[in-house]
A and B are shown apart, each in its own frame.
Chain A
């Protein structure tokens, strides 16, 4: 499987980032080609470039909230939030967040799952970004967008390192902008 830069631009940083992502076949089950970002995290320059690319895009857009999806969104979201001066809001699996939460259920291939966010983490009309390592079917990102919008935030964009375009996650987002660095085919 090849990983290509998202929009044909040869930003040299994106070329290096795509090279550092490891593809692991048949994980977590046969037939799935898993896009492993942990190898990217082992390269300080490439990891920094990944964050910088997002920060350059979002720093002047008045983003008050960066929401990251558990668990790999927790790796990319906080450095972006810190660099642009935004809050970081973790979106978690059920029963991990203490105190009052709102929940959004979403469909998996078999069954369903649930994403939670703290009540009061975001305020009405705040501009928000949703961050995760990868977008596949878009189910998780959709749930994240819904949570933020139910709380009154305006989701400006979803941002992921990798997109698997064949799984049509972009369509599932129904026009909500999606920005990615690399495509996995």
Chain B
């Protein structure tokens, strides 16, 4: 098995320049209380293909700083098997929130990406999107708009129904929170099937907001949420296999 660290370096050197997306693939084999150090401790069952690293237009020292931060962030996320039901491997970001440096780095990585993009709205999906969205909104000078479960928002709302594995759910937004033509990002902790993010995009687009990108800490690529979002860009820090 190829050790992860040399895999990292070889893929880094062979990266084509000027690709804007930076994603990082980590296999997570974490248990509660396990805070082993980042890259060296990880094993990667799938070998070379599973580490994807793209160069943007950052200098090499900036890029290694970004990768270092992402590696550290990934190491703080706790994986809980069989929650909320058997067969589901739950990606628990609450352990990330217990590490002030990792939490700050998480926010900084999003802020660095969005601060000069003329974003006036950060929409966050209840409830874990409420943890990441507001700090990003504050740092880039945007409004924060909560997207909520039914009957939580007072006053006039618009609703979007979306499918769950069994049944449906509803997401609501205040009609007057946003103006036509505003540029928005949507934030949540994790994207799985993409159903929730799709509903959020629809809500904003129904009132003529331009959704520039969806931003999550973690993606579960096997659940193909990215495909479900179609041509809507998705930015994540970590892909979990």
Q: Using CB atoms and an 8 Å cutoff, list the residues of chain A in contact with chain B.
A: 22, 24, 27-28, 34, 36, 38, 41-44, 47-48, 51, 70-72, 74-76, 78-79, 81-82, 85-90, 92, 95-100, 118, 120-121
Contacts A38-B153, A44-B137, A86-B100 aside, 19 further interface pairs with beta carbons under 8 A come to A34-B154, A38-B145, A41-B134, A41-B144, A41-B145, A41-B146, A70-B127, A71-B146, A75-B134, A76-B134, A78-B132, A87-B100, A88-B131, A89-B97, A90-B97, A96-B127, A98-B83, A99-B78, A120-B33
List B164-187 residues whose CB lies under 8 Å from chain A: 174, 177
Instruction: Give bound CA distance, A150 to B157, whole Å.
Output: 40
Closest to B121 in A: A42
Cβ of B153: which chain A residues have Cβ within 8 Å of it? 38
Cβ of B90: which chain A residues have Cβ within 8 Å of it? 98
Cβ of A78: which chain B residues have Cβ within 8 Å of it? 97, 103, 131-132, 134-135
Interface centre among A22, A34, A71, A120 (most CB of B within 10 A): A71
Q: Can you pick out 23 interface pairs between chain A and chain B where the beta carbons lie within 8 Å of each other?
A: A27-B155, A28-B151, A28-B154, A38-B177, A41-B145, A42-B177, A47-B134, A47-B137, A47-B138, A71-B146, A71-B152, A72-B130, A79-B135, A82-B103, A85-B100, A87-B99, A87-B100, A89-B94, A92-B127, A98-B90, A99-B32, A100-B32, A120-B33
Interface residue B1 (Cβ < 8 Å from any Cβ of A): no
Cβ of B83: which chain A residues have Cβ within 8 Å of it? 98-99
Closest to A44 in B: B141
Instruction: Give bound CA distance, A89 to B132, whole Å.
Output: 13
Instruction: Give bound CA distance, A119 to B84, whole Å.
Output: 17
Q: Mostly helix, strand, loop or mixed at chain B's interface? A: mixed
Asked if B155 and A118 sit within 8 Å, CB to CB, the answer is no
Cβ of B141: which chain A residues have Cβ within 8 Å of it? 44
Tell which of B32, B97, B144, B152 touches A47, judged by Cβ atoms closer than 8 Å.
Answer: B144
Instruction: Give bound CA distance, A22 to B80, whole Å.
Output: 40
Asked if B100 and A36 sit within 8 Å, CB to CB, the answer is no
Q: Known interface pairs A70-B127, A71-B127, A98-B84. Does A82 touch B100 (Cβ–Cβ under 8 Å)?
A: yes
Q: Using CB atoms and an 8 Å cutoff, list the residues of chain B in contact with chain A.
A: 32-33, 78, 80, 83-84, 90, 92, 94, 97-100, 103-104, 107, 126-128, 130-132, 134-135, 137-138, 141-146, 148, 151-155, 174, 177
Asked if B135 and A82 sit within 8 Å, CB to CB, the answer is yes
Could you tell me the distance in whole angstroms from the C-beta of A69 to the nearest C-beta in chain B? 11
Instruction: Give bound CA distance, A185 to B143, whole Å.
Output: 27
Closest to A99 in B: B80
Asked if A71 and B80 sit within 8 Å, CB to CB, the answer is no
Cβ of B174: which chain A residues have Cβ within 8 Å of it? 38
Asked if A44 and B142 sit within 8 Å, CB to CB, the answer is yes
Asked if A74 and B130 sit within 8 Å, CB to CB, the answer is yes
Could you tell me the distance in whole angstroms from the C-beta of B149 to the nearest C-beta in chain A? 9
Cβ of B32: which chain A residues have Cβ within 8 Å of it? 99-100, 120
Instruction: Give bound CA distance, A152 to B83, whole Å.
Output: 27
Cβ of B144: which chain A residues have Cβ within 8 Å of it? 41-42, 47, 75
Instruction: Give bound CA distance, A18 to B111, whole Å.
Output: 28
Cβ of A118: which chain B residues have Cβ within 8 Å of it? 94
Asked if A24 and B99 sit within 8 Å, CB to CB, the answer is no
Instruction: Give bound CA distance, A150 to B132, whole Å.
Output: 28
Cβ of A87: which chain B residues have Cβ within 8 Å of it? 97-100
Asked if B143 and A42 sit within 8 Å, CB to CB, the answer is yes
Instruction: Give bound CA distance, A139 to B188, whole Å.
Output: 29
Could you tell me the distance in whole angstroms from the C-beta of B80 to the nearest C-beta in chain A? 4
- The 6 A-B pairs of least Cβ separation, nearest first, read A24-B154, A74-B130, A27-B154, A98-B83, A98-B80, A88-B97
Cβ of B92: which chain A residues have Cβ within 8 Å of it? 98-99
Cβ of B94: which chain A residues have Cβ within 8 Å of it? 89-90, 97, 118, 121
Instruction: Give bound CA distance, A73 to B177, whole Å.
Output: 20
Could you tell me the distance in whole angstroms from the C-beta of B54 to the nearest C-beta in chain A? 28
Instruction: Give bound CA distance, A92 to B94, whole Å.
Output: 11
Asked if B107 and A82 sit within 8 Å, CB to CB, the answer is yes
